Chain A
């Protein structure tokens, strides 16, 4: 049962074909899927290769930026309008991974991958699918039922254009320096309005089955000016309501122990 490759020049066509073939997978950058091909994964037998040029677009849409599904980490890092995403995109793999790894692949990546996706959750991104016009799905909703969306084709991700690129902070926690897979990642959107910060969004990667928002921390920070007291309150509830995994990188216990420390450092801006 060798793997067949079918090429589509129109993303809508691929979406139709995918909906009727459970043993097909979309080949994006290949950085996750090709490992499964190399290791003889028996759960699929067909790769859909998409050559639709619209998937490589990066363009403005009002106060948001629309990033095509096939845009790579390297392209995000190089793009002037996406400098606020550069830190998270740079955290993904080494240069050769970033050359091909795509934004849509990162959205769908299983743990321990998905560093950029964690930043997209904090950013309040929206996800656009083939066959659904310009209707967007909020990323929180997308992550909640991510498994059930495997039969759909992501065409683009819409992100708010940040006036202040430093409003998004990102931290990848690894046990291997300078680069390893994340035992957790943290992204924090800290938009300043006057002296106070409003609309905190805090997200973790690898603290659950998908990147997720941390409601308890957001509540603890709400209305604060990121002072010592507010950060201490936030750190105290760093893993409240979470069920972090135990895997080869770290135990659930370890993740719970270190999460407040790293959250604190990120919020204090001490991660440089």
Chain B
């Protein structure tokens, strides 16, 4: 394995005492892997193991008139047919454990299905084959409903309502808005003064994580009135908490064993298998396995969701980007799962690693009749980065600037202010661009070679905008809440009161466009020891770091923290 370490970069910022970094270190589980002895969840054998298969919707969207399981129940070897009414608490949202979002998804649907492959019943049988045969014998009377598969179609008036908890097909942020807002400076004013306005539309398809081991779990009765659950989950306690909630069990009665996972990549956090396997075990008293086959994994297993982004940049002739506006649509599929959180992450990432004085984003978490989306490596970031970096190339082409030069010209430098109102520290985009250009034989100017993340930043670039244009569009009038920042329903009233007050605040007069000088002579790196204060007062509609103070209650929402900024101090 050849890994090159550029210890010359930022050499004076750390002691060169890294004794492990840079040296290959053997995995502790490697011997198990090469001998085939690593214990994956399905490598635990149980006498009398029962197998579970689900009856799934053949339709994108349909009401369930009735489910007739009688023929399936009569099949020899069928031990139990589980339907929605057998699930003690048959409505959940994965992030409800963080008090983020309304419960919107049943474990087994009993009223309607909102995506193709949604489960409506689970067969528990002596063998997988018998379970499959029984699935074929369940009769569901469907009333097929109109469906919508496109994010922008889904939020038009009159579109089919996909998700009962969010009838307008949009997740509600902070208990207030039907999208996640980011407001920093005044984008519209800056666009009017820019030499070029450059627009782009970018679309990413869903991506299946496709782990080699499909998702699954085995549950078995344990002594002391507990259930043991061997699982492929990537989030053991997350899955435990979800199972406890859906099954209305004390988590003390659940003994989860995991840790050896045959590839996850984000696709093994949805905790669909553990509760159902445990329920099968509870209802039969026997060990029960619920596992996706490969077709399930590809069709029903939650992918990285599709994203669509519209980007509008205001660019000066010299290549400085003075405004960047995003309209983003995340396709959550039929249920929230983790998409709402992905957008919070994505909003914190905007406008990419660039210092742009005016940034605006409206990001919608949209429900469609597609397979629910979930996490995948870098989720919330990868899709919009694809859009941003393609757009950077488009800007470079339009303005006639070398794409590396454009990036370095606009790159974050230490001491700059980021759009989510944190000081940029430990920036290294310039150095990355320089090394990438060098490695790929890309010809660059002397100016490019001379730039450094340690100089040219801060100062005026480190200041918050003198004025941020805010607005109330997308304000939710009808009191839907329960989402991140809005907290529990008990908090709704106070959240709305603050919003109303903020709405009354008049915007200040538009300030002159800030210039972003970077070609300063090298000076001391701007390193502010203290974090920059949070946003100025009248910024109710900004990102998560600038939310208005909320009364602390027992169920106050967890804050998503970031570990970036800890590297170089």
Total interface residues on B, CB under 8 Å, equals 11
Write out the residue numbers on chain B whose beta carbons fall within 8 Å of the beta carbon of A1: 133
Contact (Cβ within 8 A) A40 B295: no
Contact (Cβ within 8 A) A42 B133: yes
Write out the residue numbers on chain B whose beta carbons fall within 8 Å of the beta carbon of A39: 132, 293, 295
Alpha-carbon separation in the docked complex, A218 to B53 (Å): 51
Q: How many pairs of A and B residues are in contact by the CB < 8 Å rule? A: 19
Interface residue A2 (Cβ < 8 Å from any Cβ of B): yes
A36-90 contacts to B (CB < 8 Å): 38-40, 42
Please report B residues at the A interface, Cβ cutoff 8 Å. Answer: 53, 127-130, 132-133, 135-136, 293, 295
B23 to chain A, nearest CB (A): 33
Interface bracket on A: under 10
Contact (Cβ within 8 A) A3 B295: no
Write out the residue numbers on chain A whose beta carbons fall within 8 Å of the beta carbon of B128: 40
Contact (Cβ within 8 A) A2 B130: yes
Q: Is the interface of B mostly helix, strand, loop or mixed?
A: helix
**Closest CB pairs A-B (n = 5):** A40-B132, A42-B136, A1-B133, A2-B129, A40-B129
Write out the residue numbers on chain B whose beta carbons fall within 8 Å of the beta carbon of A40: 53, 128-129, 132-133, 135-136
Alpha-carbon separation in the docked complex, A40 to B127 (Å): 11
Alpha-carbon separation in the docked complex, A40 to B136 (Å): 9
B54 to chain A, nearest CB (A): 12
A213 to chain B, nearest CB (A): 34
Most buried by A among B128, B132, B293: B132
A40 to B, closest residue via Cβ: B132
B221 to chain A, nearest CB (A): 27
Contact (Cβ within 8 A) A3 B129: yes
A176 to chain B, nearest CB (A): 13
Write out the residue numbers on chain A whose beta carbons fall within 8 Å of the beta carbon of B293: 38-39
Instruction: Please name 14 pairs of A and B residues whose Cβ atoms are closer than 8 Å in the assembled complex, sorted by A.
Output: A1-B133, A2-B127, A2-B129, A2-B130, A3-B129, A39-B132, A39-B293, A39-B295, A40-B53, A40-B129, A40-B132, A40-B133, A40-B135, A42-B133
B75 to chain A, nearest CB (A): 8
Beyond the given A40-B135, A40-B136, please list 17 additional residue pairs across the A-B interface where CB-CB is below 8 A. A1-B133, A2-B127, A2-B129, A2-B130, A2-B133, A3-B129, A38-B293, A39-B132, A39-B293, A39-B295, A40-B53, A40-B128, A40-B129, A40-B132, A40-B133, A42-B133, A42-B136
Write out the residue numbers on chain B whose beta carbons fall within 8 Å of the beta carbon of A42: 133, 136
B329 to chain A, nearest CB (A): 24
Write out the residue numbers on chain B whose beta carbons fall within 8 Å of the beta carbon of A38: 293
Write out the residue numbers on chain A whose beta carbons fall within 8 Å of the beta carbon of B129: 2-3, 40
A2 to B, closest residue via Cβ: B129
Question: CB-CB contacts of A171-211 with B at 8 A, as 1s and 0s?
Answer: 00000000000000000000000000000000000000000
Alpha-carbon separation in the docked complex, A2 to B125 (Å): 13
Alpha-carbon separation in the docked complex, A3 to B130 (Å): 10
